[in-house]
Amino acid sequence: MGDSLRMMTGCRENDKESDMSLRERKFWNRTKGALLQVNRRKAQQVYIDVPGALQSKAANKLANAISFQECVRKQMLALGRVRPFRVPVAIEIDFTPGIDRPPPAIHSLAKYYLDLLQWPADGSANDKSRLLLKDDRQVKALICTYWLGVDHYNPGVRLRITTMNNFVRDLQLFTTIRLGEFAELSDDALRRSGYADAAEGWDIESLDDPLEQLREHITDKEAFVKVTSVEAYEVHRMFLQQLCQEKFLKKRELGPEVLASVLSPYVGGRAKTPLQSLNSLVASMGRQWHQLIGIDLGPSAVRPGEGDLFKKAVREKLADVRQKEKMMNPLLTTIGVTIVYVPPKNANGIDLDNLARRIIPFVHEELHPPSTIAHVSKAYGAVLASSDEWAERIRAELKSLNRLPQYQVSRYQIFELPHCDTDADDGNVHLIIHGGLGSLGPWHEADDVIRNWEQAVAHY
């Protein structure tokens, strides 16, 4: 009798726990619960803003490194953070160079600053604690933007750091908001919670098809030149080619929904083959220029001596793209790069900042991406008469930016996927080329939608 009573009591307690768990899940799946989670994730993010000239490891100036770390430490204390992150993290770094001297290349900057977020720069024994990171391998999402040609009178470094769990949760919330998938009590509440349209900017989709216009322009070359000039024809042809490139590349970047799905294992998702899913998606995004959309670089260097082989493969595949994709050569717009990395199964992986150093320089060498819109204009100036007023103005602007690199990606982002059983034992590296400074990336896109959703919910 006593055993039966205890069993019945235990069952009732389990039922209560189950009911509580169900009620909690329903609460967190509603708008109010989602808002509370968003605020919690915001409070856990760390923002650091350090003004001053950009540095790289090659400069090796101890005083600058110590000054940077002191600034970071002060801002950490102001945010109430005294310990480094100990779990996988996502890091966004914005670099704004000055124009008083040639700035470092984008792929060399992350390595230097990520190192400074760990050990004390002077190696002092009295301060063994790390700053913001315990190890480079914690970084599973690295997003770097180079603000060339923008705000050079206020150079500096701005960082945003959060856990991978929070990063992916924000991407997932973006999808939930867009689809209106909250467990609300009424259709009206569902509509209100699901409202979140990002601010509309200039949409290239609203233009007529530039590819069709380019074809017509080339067909009508003789008549166009007869009315105007060869130079005017060539400038207009380049302008239409630029529009084609911008329209195509704008569509190629992975959006928040895709990243949320691919990175779901970081939040306990059941995606068994995220890389295969990504490859299928990339293939479906467009068949005409598929090689430019996604470039399979194979495994990264795993064994000693394979580093040079990997670099050679990167160079050859990018050169192949340049030769085959005539519409994209020369590049007349800024570009960004996304690298998706699957580490090897039975070997140490590579730090994301070091992986960038094995790929980004060859993107510059083979594809010649213009670093700024002013550098794009340089190509137009080359076909205009030297007395042309517009060409003279462009040359004057370029002269003021003559210390900036001619070729540079505007942004690169690297995401590391957990290795799955279906992945190659040596891992894989996938490169995706997309638009540059016309977009701030999926994290900012998610931020915009979440912010508008919060405002809409507060309004109601």
Q: Report how far residue 170's alpha carbon sits from residue 42's, in angstroms, rounded to the nearest whole number.
A: 10
- In this prediction, residue 322 carries a pLDDT of 86
Domain stops at, among 155, 186, 217: 186
Do 12 and 73 belong to one domain? no
- In this prediction, residue 285 carries a pLDDT of 55
- In this prediction, residue 338 carries a pLDDT of 94
- In this prediction, residue 234 carries a pLDDT of 87
Q: Can you say how many angstroms the Cα of residue 255 is from the centroid of all Cα atoms in its chain?
A: 10
392-406: b or e for each residue (b if 16 or more CB lie within 10 Å)?
Answer: eebeebbeebeebbe
| Domain ranges, residue 25 | 2-37
- In this prediction, residue 166 carries a pLDDT of 96
CB hemisphere CA count around 339 (13 angstroms): 34
Do 165 and 280 belong to one domain? no
Q: Report how far residue 66's alpha carbon sits from residue 99's, in angstroms, rounded to the nearest whole number.
A: 23
Do 22 and 60 belong to one domain? no
Do 50 and 30 belong to one domain? no
Residue 127 belongs to some domain of the structure: yes
Q: The domain spanning residue 392 has which CATH number?
A: 3.30.1330.70
Over residues 259-270, the pLDDT tens digits come to 998 898 898 866
Do 21 and 57 belong to one domain? no
Over residues 117-153, the pLDDT tens digits come to 988 877 654 455 678 998 889 999 999 999 987 777 8
Please list the ranges in the chain whose pLDDT falls under 50.
5-9, 11, 13, 16-18, 20, 125-126, 185-186, 190, 192-194, 196, 198-204, 286-291
Do 166 and 64 belong to one domain? yes
Residue 227 belongs to some domain of the structure: yes
Do 52 and 131 belong to one domain? yes
Over residues 448-460, the pLDDT tens digits come to 999 988 888 877 6
Do 269 and 139 belong to one domain? no
Q: Which two tokens stand for residue 285?
A: 């995004």
Judge whether 371 and 327 are in contact, CB under 8 Å: no
Do 313 and 398 belong to one domain? yes
Residue 457 belongs to some domain of the structure: no
Q: Which of 426, 369, 400 is nearest to 149 (CA)?
A: 400
